Amino acid sequence: MGNEGTRRLFGTDGIRGVANRDPMTAEVALRLGRAVARRFQHPSRPGRIVIGKDTRLSGYMLESALQAGIVSAGADVMLVGPLPTPGIAFITWSMRADAGVVISASHNPYQDNGIKLFAADGFKLPDDVELALEREMEQEMQGLPGQADDRGSEPADIGKAVRIDHATGRYVQFLKSAFPKGRTLEGVKIVVDCANGAAYHVAPQVFEELGADVIALGVTPNGRNINDQCGAMHPARMAAEVVRSGAALGVALDGDADRVILADEKGQIVDGDQIMALLGTRLLAAGALPGRTVVGTVMSNLGLERALAGVGAQLVRAAVGDRYVVEAMREGGYRFGGEQSGHLIFLDNATTGDGTLAALRVLDVMVAEGRPLSEIAGQAMVRYPQVLVNFPVANRRPLEELPEVGRAISSVEGVLGPEGRVVVRYSGTELKARVMIEGSNESEIRAHADEIARVMQRCLGC
């Protein structure tokens, strides 16, 4: 399963791939379930593992295989069914489970699926624990000696599975409690696009119970329509409905609802960087931004960095992936961070990105200040033109082994100077490379990005 210290199965956000194709097969899920049960054993009782999922058709297959693997290794399973990723993290922590498993490929199309894991504290697993799980799975597959105690060999030690029917209600109540008790959304019209995903029954309920007039889109999942021309990946329909209905806000979630893209009352898109600028400045003014720091990623817009610097705060950049943002936040003692893609993390409330929670935080500012989102988002930051070029690759050959690409990057950086940035990286979830360039002139930076992409494709033999 790879060289020493290298994870083959786990990427930046768990294991991911095409459903029913390696590694997203029932066989791999079965072995992973056993490895998880062994890794998260409890000293005085059977381990308790939460399993939740989004609405993909293949979720049934993977859920059954994971469940079988976990109980065969002697741990108990707590099934919560379709629930947002942050909801599963919350249930794992609040119900004192030993680990949580999310079956979801987030914003990807229904043909894909994924498995990501949370520890007992609701935080995603660090790289070394994921590597240990891979080694455990490899040992089992090869039948090597020295494995952890195989409690599944004794019939009396087989675990059981129970369905947690109140998981959704617990998570809804948690979200509502994050909104100020003395505040209401009465008279506020909101368009909510749930991407036919995991939040289809949660997000509309939360906003409605807080008093909002809700127009719900993407709430008829059929196993195949998750993220299909809807949700955070395709917010145009949501934005158009905001304008048509005269709503104050549009909320577009992705398939597992850990990210959000907003639209103001004019139908203008508000992304994660703008939300971080908007909320970061308010947190700073309230004395609730430890270290006067917001944690973003290498992809965060330069305008966010400049906006924070303008009020005496700073942006710390982490690697792409909300788990790396969270790691940087915990290491530095910071409490707010996120990604341009809409993962927003509030460590005072949650352990991972939560799209519904982020929307509630923005609504809190709108109601408190009595101003439309177009006004507060427009004043939050000035966006630098940013161009992103994606292209498929056959392998993720390290960039340091591609000197011609390095020279191309250095050349562009020299042209841009301090008024621009170049970020070249591989996707952690797909066999793709990404070239991102920021600068003051969009046509120029697009030409630079295309040139770097051409050089990279030539070097990689694409």
Helix, coil or strand: residue 27: helix
Tokens of 305: 């960095």
Q: Which residues are catalytic?
A: 106
CA distances from 292 to 22, 336, 379, 392 (A): 45, 10, 19, 39
Measure CA of the first residue to CA of the last residue in the chain; give whole Å.
25
Q: What share of the chain is helix, strand, coil (3-state, %, to 5)?
A: 40, 20, 40
Which letter does DSSP use for residue 356 in this model? H
Q: Which CATH number fits domain 10-168: 3.40.120.10, 3.40.50.720, 2.60.40.420, 3.40.50.300?
A: 3.40.120.10
Report the C-alpha gap between 277 and 217 in whole angstroms.
27
Its CATH architecture, for the domain 185-270, is 3-Layer(aba) Sandwich (3.40)
Question: Residue 102: which of 114, 120, 93, 94 has the closest Cα?
Answer: 114
Residue 5: per-residue pLDDT: 58
Q: How many residues does the chain have?
A: 462
Which stretches of 122-222 are DSSP H helices?
127-142, 167-177, 203-209
Sequence-distant (6+) residues with CB within 8 A of 287 are: none
Q: Could you give the maximum distance between any two Cα atoms of the chain, in Å?
A: 69
CA distances from 124 to 100, 129, 353, 413 (A): 9, 10, 11, 35
* Ranges in the chain annotated CATH 3.40.120.10: 10-168, 185-270, 271-383
The alpha carbon torsion through 392, 396, 402, 406 (nearest 10 deg) reads: 70
Q: Helix 442-460 crosses helix 403-416 at what angle (to 10 degrees)?
A: 170
Sequence-distant (6+) residues with CB within 8 A of 90 are: 122, 170, 171, 174, 350, 351
Which letter does DSSP use for residue 461 in this model? T
* Ranges in the chain annotated CATH 3.30.310.50: 386-460
pLDDT by position in tens, the chain (length 462): 333 457 789 987 899 999 999 999 999 999 999 999 999 999 999 999 999 999 999 999 999 999 999 999 999 999 999 999 999 999 999 999 999 999 999 999 999 999 999 999 999 998 899 999 999 999 888 765 444 444 455 898 999 999 999 999 999 999 999 999 999 999 999 999 999 999 999 999 999 999 999 999 999 999 999 999 999 999 999 999 999 999 999 999 999 999 999 999 999 999 999 999 999 999 999 999 999 999 999 999 999 999 999 999 999 999 998 999 999 999 999 999 999 999 999 999 999 999 999 999 999 999 999 999 999 999 999 999 999 999 999 889 999 999 999 999 999 999 999 999 999 999 877 889 999 999 999 999 999 999 999 999 999 986
Report the C-alpha gap between 90 and 122 in whole angstroms.
6
Its CATH architecture, for the domain 271-383, is 3-Layer(aba) Sandwich (3.40)
Preceding peptide of 372 cis, ω within 30°: no
Q: Which CATH number fits domain 386-460: 3.30.310.50, 1.20.140.10, 3.40.50.720, 3.40.50.2000?
A: 3.30.310.50
The alpha carbon torsion through 319, 322, 323, 327 (nearest 10 deg) reads: 70
Sequence-distant (6+) residues with CB within 8 A of 333 are: 290, 291
